[in-house]
Amino acid sequence: MRGRVAVSAGRGARVGGTGAVRASRVGAGQAVQVVAGVLVAVLVGCSGGNGRGGNGGRGDESRPGPSTTRSPGGATTVPGRPPDGPTTLPEPVPVPQDLAALLVDEAPPGFVADRIPEGMVGPIGVGSLRAALSAETVRVWVEAGFRRGYGRAWRRPVGGAGAAELRSVWVAEFADPAGAAAAAAHTDDGLGERDQSTFPVPDPPGALGRRWVADDFTGPVRVDEVVFTRGPRLYVVRVSAPLPGPTGDAVLRLAAAQAHLAR
């Protein structure tokens, strides 16, 4: 285009004199303006194709962004895109402080805190029962109106190969006193108890004392257990050790201490 404008201007000077030259110059100026307009239009068209406007390459700033909404669960949702998921992690299971305060919390001399029996230490739910008790016991407890529980345990090594004396206390809360009483006769952990017997418990009055032999990974152990209720709550006190078993009064002393805290 610029070459043609120059040729037209030269021809006008030779043919028409001064006036023709002026006319040619005016025509050339108009032609340049037309060319400039075409170039601007081309540039604008090209820039519009890639989403950039004339504000320094940030054309998106002049356009409204997609609307966003936040769901009740904390997820941000943009139309046409999947939600980005919750913005916070699930809360940990809370410790039932009211139940924890009802249990003995001081380790016996020579013992350290332990996680055995599995599922019955810390907050106790139905899943905990399934991990620690027999299927029949879990069924009875659930039908009796089990709601929640809490447990503590301690360990003292004896002998070798991981053998230890264990002491534990649990509290299980039911819908009513009748449910706790119904569950008191069912504390079987499904480990094949044998040589079962009972023994008297002076404190608390009315408590049930049971003794049996079972097998764990270290060999046969004797388990002494005291069970009693207070209103809708069931308390289980256990002491176990490899044969010949724990001292005779260990479970009775722990049961008496637990009875003074129970409500």
* pLDDT (0 to 100) of residue 216: 81
* pLDDT (0 to 100) of residue 94: 61
How far is it, in rounded angstroms, from Cα 249 to Cα 247?
6
The pTM of the full predicted model, rounded to 2 decimals, is 0.64
* pLDDT (0 to 100) of residue 111: 95
The Cβ-side half-sphere exposure at 134, using a 13 Å CA radius, reads 12
* pLDDT (0 to 100) of residue 148: 95
**Strand 194-199 relative to strand 219-230: parallel, antiparallel, unpaired?**
unpaired
Per-residue pLDDT of the chain (263 residues; tens, 9 = 90+): 333 333 333 333 333 333 333 333 334 444 334 334 434 343 434 444 443 333 333 333 344 444 444 444 343 333 443 444 443 433 444 667 899 999 999 999 999 999 877 779 999 999 999 988 999 999 999 999 999 999 999 999 987 777 899 999 999 999 999 999 999 999 987 777 889 999 999 999 999 999 999 988 788 999 999 999 999 999 999 999 999 988 779 999 999 999 999 99
